[in-house]
Amino acid sequence: MRVELRNLCKRWGNVVGVDNISLEIKDSEFVALLGPSGCGKTTTLLMIAGIYKPTSGEILFDGRIVNHIPPKDRNIGMVFQSYALYPHMTVFENMAYPLKLQKVPKDEQRRRVQHVADMMGIGHLLDRKPGQLSGGQQQRVALGRALVKDPELLLFDEPLSNLDARLRLTMRGEIKRRQMELGITSIYVTHDQVEAMTMADRIAVIKDGKLQAYDTPDELYERPRTLFIAGFIGNPPMNLINGVEVVRDGEEYLARHQAFCLRVPAERGKHVAAKGEVILGIRPEDISLADDGQDGMRGEVYVVEPLGRDDLVNVELPGNTFIHFLADPALRLKPGTPVALCFNTEKVQFFDPRTERSLLWH
């Protein structure tokens, strides 16, 4: 099913929850609504579900306006952060509930519930009450209940936030796999950018009720259009360095800061030259230690955070500037060690500090 939001707004008195969001979701696409808590992403989802009525704007399913269609007639499945399994019903009764409401015959209810339960690996738990299940099992029941009525649209409201880290990883893969197999259009609300990056075909980044960007994960990562996206997408987050000035030096462009002076490729530098002070962005993985004899920017290790595969190293540059980079743990960097750093200038980003927009991508 195709879903389209047109100038969607939700206000409660003077409080703006969702501010003029427009986007289109293709049939069988997996879209994540990503943003910090309180940004309006769940409100948007609940409007798509029909629980909240939009203050203005339209919601279209397959080109048909559904603003006034109640949730029960929208043929959607929804998975909640709390799972919202009815505590007084068994797993079977929970999963059969949507079918019972549709007056599906008893034996067909049993057949369909059993089929979905087996697919989700919970076929042996049908007689239990939700309180007797682990978090992961409850999650599967919740997903099963959403799937059992063959919805045309699946809505997820932070479904993995209550699971432990390991289980979250497993369920992440499982949800993505099911969605691909069944080809059901899905909208997934999350504040976890790793979840959004790994699962979604496209990500809608929302901040303060406004749509910041709507693009594929790669595009958001490689070409962040705003300072917010640059800081929000990617883990560990991008280094953002204030007070950088880019000047033309013959055929070359130089990015100058009190702590360093970098040569920037012309196709990036030309957009930024003579724009005054800008913000330079560089991801930790695009910074490396300078080879011997190579001229790098000098600094001193401030903190080392071992991440296992890499060490996340915080380096203090002159002028009280701190930047993070990823180093090989075998180097055994210690606080206080003097280091020389090299930027991969092919990957630097530039932002206008006033508009907070990218100077490279529009």
Partner 1 sequence: MEAVVREQPVEVVARRRSLRVSLEALTFMSPTMLLVTLFFFVPVLLLLWISLTNLSSNTFGNPLCVGGVRDVCESLGIRAGGVEFVGLSNYRRLFSDRFFPKILRNTLFYVFSTLTLFNVGLALVLALLTTHIERRAGFLFRAIWLLPRITPSVIYIMMWKRIAADAPFGILNQFLTPVGVEPRFWLREAPWLFVIVTNGFVGASFGMLIFSSAIESIPRDYIMAAKVDGATTLQIIRTIIIPLIKWPLLFVTTYQTLSLLASFEYILLLTNGGPGLYRTEVWSLTAYHRALQTYFGNNQWGYGAAWGFVLVVIGIIFSIIYLRVFRFNELVQEPKIDAL
Minimum CB distance to partner 1, residue 27 (Å): 20
Closer to partner 1 by CB, 100 or 263: give it: 100
Closer to partner 1 by CB, 145 or 225: give it: 145
Minimum CB distance to partner 1, residue 335 (Å): 44
Closer to partner 1 by CB, 46 or 238: give it: 46
Minimum CB distance to partner 1, residue 51 (Å): 5
Closer to partner 1 by CB, 53 or 124: give it: 53
Minimum CB distance to partner 1, residue 21 (Å): 20
From 304, 291, 272, select the one nearest 341 (Cα to Cα).
291
Minimum CB distance to partner 1, residue 278 (Å): 45
Closer to partner 1 by CB, 80 or 361: give it: 80
In the complex, the residues that contact partner 1 under the rule CB under 8 A are 46, 49-51, 70-74, 76-78, 80-82, 84, 86-88, 97-98, 101-102, 145, 149, 155
